[in-house]
Structure 1
Amino acid sequence: MNYTIIKDTQALAHVCEKARLAQVVMLDTEFVRTRTYHPQLGLIQLFDGEQLVLIDPLEIDNMDSFAELLQDQSVMKILHACGEDLEVFQHSFGCIPNPMIDTQLMAAFLGHGLSTGFAALVNEYLSVELDKSESRADWLARPLTDKQLDYAAADVYYLLPLYQQLLEEVESKGWLEAVQQESTLLISKRLKTVDANNAFLDVKGAWTLNSEQLAILKVIAKWRLLEAQKRDLALNFIVKEANMLEICRLKMTSLKQMNEAGFDHREIRRHGNTLIDLVKQGVATPKSEWPDKITRLMDDPTYKQLFKRLKDEVKAVSESTGLATEFLASKKQLNQFISWVWLDDRSESNLPDVMRDWRKDILGEILNKQMK
């Protein structure tokens, strides 16, 4: 592999101008996300069949030409397992690759598991063994080692021939439109805006609280999300979820209670008094504004048997189509479907995944009949 490292605005503009003449461009990113709310971009890899470049965003003042390439409708962007890459692009450039296809999704339509890794596919389709030992490297450190650079370049160099083989198979089996639909669905899910007022619904264990306690959690969870975004810190580095739940259960209004509960002293020192004020604010919420108690599907006595019936139908469709069961409908997607029927009364404005696009035709209607 012969690759070029791009470190200035002019060189980047030249690369992007040439890349925009290609029909398809391979993209990947390397980033760090350990303590931060947003992923921290360290490197961008690009291969258009001729240019193999590693773009250093830490050195380049103006990345506008790259953002323009991302949004160029005439160039198909190819990525693998791109969920976090989409977040990186959105946070760093305010846009995402469009149009875009994910080769992990292509492989899923060819019978591979939904989470099949890039190295496994490259080994199977290209008979090349990739060294993935640098996957956890610090991509913000400089200088990057030769081993890191080689690793990064390989991720797009081999992506092109892999994509070409997958595309041929996907087209021959009639799945190309479905691949594009699934890529669009992935984008909509990954970039879904979190409503701070509903952040409490994403707290694991929130279902264990009663309505009054949820009123407190709603206030704290909103504050935690906004604080995490403002300071660019992972949510649990603001306040741990388990601690939030304990605060709400006991309606804690003293630092002594937090100490006795074993909270980290740094958390108490930094946010203790703020949390006390938030608890008081939550307690003052009028009863008419308390959130409803969160009910779990599995607590319904008919759920277990229904879920098994639906899972059996998914298995039957899996056997007839060759698609993996977890790709057709994961547990989360089946629960989303059940909620749609039980709680949303089959609302057309809030369709679950299995009742949209390609899934509806081969699976959704079958599942829907099981609910009548």
Structure 2
Amino acid sequence: MHVHPLITDSAALANLCARLADAPFVCVDTEFMRENTFWPELCLIQIADTEEAAAIDPMALGLDMQPLLDLLVNNEDVLKVFHAGGQDLEIIYNLTGKTPYPLFDTQVAAMALGQGEQIGYSNLVDSWLGIQIDKGARFTDWSRRPLDVRQVDYAIGDVTHLSNIFPRMLERLKKTGRGAWLDQEMERLGDPANYANDPDLAWKRVRISGRRPDVLGRLKAIARWRELEARSKDLPRGRIVKDETVADLAGHPPKKQADLVKVRGLSATWGTNDIGKRLLAAIESAEPMSMEEMPPREDRKPGLGKEGALVADLLKLLLKIRARDIDVAPRLLARGEELEALAAGQRDNLAMLTGWRFDQFGHEALDLVEGRLGFAVVEGKLKMTRIDVNT
């Protein structure tokens, strides 16, 4: 494989992208910093097919990134391959308003091949290629320039290894007939809504006790205000106001701006400055949260009840057994909220009761809740046994 020097000029990038546009797939990775900013600061993009690989410096003066962005989000003939690509997709969405399509995530695919729910990149490379990655450059400050050759080589290795692993992984998925199992997971990962950062939903990031509509309404208003402040200043949310202070303000709102000086986590200047004025205005404008928006109780799902909770626990045990038997990650077969919904009597709109999930797990889950299946210990191993409901 030909590995290019660090790409810093527009002509070299355009030529690279023109060649990669004819590839069946490209592997993509990014290096970024986000400790001091709201928006992730893109510092490096690595890309490879089976013939060539390169690292691209998006911080290079005058570099036209458009050919690369077009390849990633507008060229649907090239499959984009990531490993645990959620943060990479967020960065691409921030730059373009789109997510790459079509896409393939090797961490997701590993779930169908018995490698757990969140296999790390180093373990993936070791298991497929027998290569132990030097982790010495993991904690590089990727925003500092110049980058040395060792740093660039380390970064490019992330996509060169992936370009060797992906075809092997694809071949095994074809042999096992499990490729189609991943379609829904890949669609979920690529859904642009995951990366939109809607200010009206920012309150869901904050942990708070209690379920009073007035408190949650203030939480929503304050979190929305913080989101917009952080965006406008390009600062992390916690640099504006920490989560615990947001929750405290929602539960114990100040009556006037001068009272902000008494709030733990805010400086005395908030009692008179403009940001304190904007915060108080957000609090005063808050309305109680509507019943439709209220979050479900964590300790008791609607309609589940005590007996239903026990049934849900049995379904979780069945899920573990079935996942072990066919060597897949349990989450690929069903999610916890689906099991609780089934235990509560729901039958519609459950992924595990359709398609391949029904064949591999859903029909047994349905049999269990409807009394046609039970547990048995056979030679020290927990297995399922059919129950004759007519006896």
Q: Does 1:311 align with 2:310?
A: no
Describe the superposition over 1:174-210 as per-residue Cα deviations: whole angstroms up to 9, x where unpaired.
11122333212211277353443343234222x5241
8 Å contact from structure 2 (residues 17, 68) kept in 1: yes
Q: Does 1:127 align with 2:127?
A: no
The secondary structure found in structure 1 opposite 2:42 is strand
Tell me the residue number matched to 2:213. Answer: 211
Tell me the residue number matched to 1:156. Answer: 159
Residue identity over aligned pairs, in percent, reads 28
Tell me the residue number matched to 1:362. Answer: 360
- In 1: Cα distance, 2:210 partner to 2:23 partner: 54
Structure 2 gap ranges (5+): 371-391
Equivalent positions of 1:284-303 (< 5 A) are 285=287, 294-299=295-300, 301-302=305-306
8 Å contact from structure 2 (residues 315, 339) kept in 1: no
Match of residue 184, structure 1, among 179, 182, 187? 187
- In 1: Cα distance, 2:195 partner to 2:339 partner: 19
Cα 1:249–1:222 change in 2 (3 A) is same
Tell me the residue number matched to 1:175. Answer: 178
TM-score, length-normalised on structure 2?
0.82
- In 2: Cα distance, 1:291 partner to 1:241 partner: 24
Describe the superposition over 1:256-279 as per-residue Cα deviations: whole angstroms up to 9, x where unpaired.
654444214288467333222222
Tell me the residue number matched to 1:279. Answer: 283
Tell me the residue number matched to 2:231. Answer: 229
- In 2: Cα distance, 1:272 partner to 1:318 partner: 53
Cα 1:197–1:52 change in 2 (3 A) is closer
TM-score, length-normalised on structure 1?
0.85
Tell me the residue number matched to 2:374. Answer: none
8 Å contact from structure 2 (residues 111, 328) kept in 1: yes
Equivalent positions of 1:101-116 (< 5 A) are 101-116=104-119
- In 2: Cα distance, 1:184 partner to 1:30 partner: 24
The secondary structure found in structure 1 opposite 2:223 is helix
Residue type at the aligned position of 2:17: C
Equivalent positions of 1:35-54 (< 5 A) are 35-54=36-55
TM-align CA RMSD: 2.9
Residue type at the aligned position of 1:44: I
Superposition deviation, residue 297 in structure 1: 3.7
Flag the structure with higher helix content. 1
- In 2: Cα distance, 1:360 partner to 1:253 partner: 55
Residue type at the aligned position of 1:229: R
Superposition deviation, residue 304 in structure 1: 4.2
Tell me the residue number matched to 1:14. Answer: 15
Cα 1:248–1:369 change in 2 (3 A) is farther
Residue type at the aligned position of 2:9: D
8 Å contact from structure 2 (residues 26, 81) kept in 1: yes
Describe the superposition over 1:100-142 as per-residue Cα deviations: whole angstroms up to 9, x where unpaired.
1111122221101121111112112211111123223211111
8 Å contact from structure 1 (residues 210, 293) kept in 2: no
The secondary structure found in structure 2 opposite 1:43 is strand
- In 1: Cα distance, 2:23 partner to 2:292 partner: 52
Structure 1 gap ranges (5+): none
Residue type at the aligned position of 2:323: S
Match of residue 193, structure 1, among 193, 196, 205? 196
8 Å contact from structure 1 (residues 46, 156) kept in 2: yes
Superposition deviation, residue 11 in structure 1: 0.9
- In 2: Cα distance, 1:96 partner to 1:189 partner: 6
- In 1: Cα distance, 2:179 partner to 2:68 partner: 27
The secondary structure found in structure 2 opposite 1:26 is strand
Residue type at the aligned position of 2:179: L
- In 2: Cα distance, 1:197 partner to 1:2 partner: 45
Describe the superposition over 1:342-363 as per-residue Cα deviations: whole angstroms up to 9, x where unpaired.
69x66x6xx4664566445433
- In 2: Cα distance, 1:147 partner to 1:75 partner: 29
Cα 1:97–1:294 change in 2 (3 A) is closer
8 Å contact from structure 1 (residues 108, 114) kept in 2: yes
- In 1: Cα distance, 2:137 partner to 2:27 partner: 20
- In 1: Cα distance, 2:130 partner to 2:78 partner: 28
**Larger Rg, first or second structure (1 or 2):** 2
State the aligned residue count. 361
Residue type at the aligned position of 1:99: P
Tell me the residue number matched to 2:71. Answer: 69
Residue type at the aligned position of 2:184: Q
Residue type at the aligned position of 1:97: P
Cα 1:267–1:48 change in 2 (3 A) is farther
8 Å contact from structure 1 (residues 211, 292) kept in 2: no
The secondary structure found in structure 1 opposite 2:255 is coil
Range that drifts further, 294-303 or 23-32: 294-303
Cα 1:161–1:35 change in 2 (3 A) is same
Range that drifts further, 44-53 or 88-97: 88-97
